[in-house]
Amino acid sequence: MDLKLSGKKALVAGASQGLGRAIAETLFAEGAHVAILSRSQEKLKQVKHEMIQKAPSRESEVRTYAVDVKNAPGLEHVFKDLAEQWGGIDILLANAGGPPVGSFDELSDEAYYDAFETNFMGTVRLIRGALPFMRQRQGGRIGIITSQSVKEPIPGLLLSNAIRAGVTGLARTLANEVAKDHILVNCFAPGRIDTERVRALDEENAKRAHVTTDDIKAKMTAAIPLGRYGQPDELARVVTFYLSFANTYVTGQTILIDGGKVGTLL
């Protein structure tokens, strides 16, 4: 299948590791130009180096931006530079690190504000910067990484459960508003994908339960019908299709990528 990604311009946030990195690498492998954004310039340089090693002639097709999604002026500069260098973008993948573990009684006002700024307003700012380019091009693709928690809240992740549900509402409403511009908007809800974030959550849950990390992983794995954690590249292949221009009729959806874990019908 031709994903119609050759020459398309994509911006992937949270791309220095984990899911964001896997998605950026897969988009690049399918022919897209990819701008990778994260807080760490050193990590971004390493990711770019490894991407270019596989395709040395395409060095100009990867750009790096070390910016926190909470930094509104910094993101404005990113989009200004993308306009100058590439004439804008066709594809946006909004992604940021998940909020910390915590129950209602454990979380301060500052924790709520920080999660809102990072996971909600960071998404808003990225979309706000991308939409003018997509409207000018009469089409585009927007993807947002959320969590399986938008379908089935995860114990101990109150902030993620709350904020990502809000992001899902934003995305579903936006999909209707921009459909007339031929812009498709979808969310991607990972389950237990073997990333730095999930490994850290397993370690934190083990400490809280006074058991080993292996005990937690065994418990989590037992609840997944496929019987294992997913790999970042497995999620990335699914996301890449929905972000591609082979996808012409799926919008406003939350796509679960969880090995069958969530048991809801919708």
Spatial neighbors of 49 by CB under 8 A, at least 6 apart, are: none
Residue 264 has pLDDT above 90, yes or no: no
pLDDT of residue 244: 98
pLDDT tens-digit map of 227-246: 999 999 999 999 999 999 99
Nearest to 68 by CA among 20, 111, 14, 114: 14
Domains recognised in the chain with CATH numbers: 9-191+233-255 (3.40.50.720), 193-229 (no CATH)
> What phi and psi values does residue 104 have, to the nearest 5 degrees?
-55, -45
pLDDT of residue 266: 79
Residue 265 has pLDDT above 90, yes or no: no
User: In whole angstroms, how large is the CA radius of gyration of the chain?
Assistant: 18
Residue 76 has pLDDT above 90, yes or no: yes
pLDDT of residue 108: 96
211 band by pLDDT with thresholds 50, 70 and 90: very high
Average pLDDT, the chain: 97
